[in-house]
Amino acid sequence: MVREQLIPRGIVDARVQAAMQTIPRHLFVEDALHAQAYGDFPLPIGEGQTISQPYIVALMTQALGLQGHETVLEIGTGCGYQAAVLSHLCEKVYTVERIKPLFIKARRRFDRLHYLNIVCKPDDGTLGWPEHGPYDAIIVTAAGPEIPPPLIEQLADPGVLVMPTGARLSQDLIVLTKKNGRTTSRCIEAVRFVKLIGDHGWKE
Dihedral over alpha carbons 116, 106, 66, 21 (to 10 degrees): 90
DSSP 16: H
Q: Please, which residues have CB within 8 angstroms of residue 102's CB and are 6 or more apart in sequence? A: 45, 46, 47, 49, 77, 78, 79
Give the residue numbers annotated as catalytic, written as ranges. Answer: 52
CA–CA distance, 176 with 159 (Å, rounded to integer): 8
* Phi, psi (rounded to 5 degrees) for 79: -85, -10
The residues that bridge with 74 in the sheet, in sequence order, are 95, 139
CA–CA distance, 90 with 138 (Å, rounded to integer): 12
* Phi, psi (rounded to 5 degrees) for 184: -130, 150
State the burial class of residue 183 (Cβ atoms within 10 Å of its Cβ: 0-12, 13-18, 19+).
middle
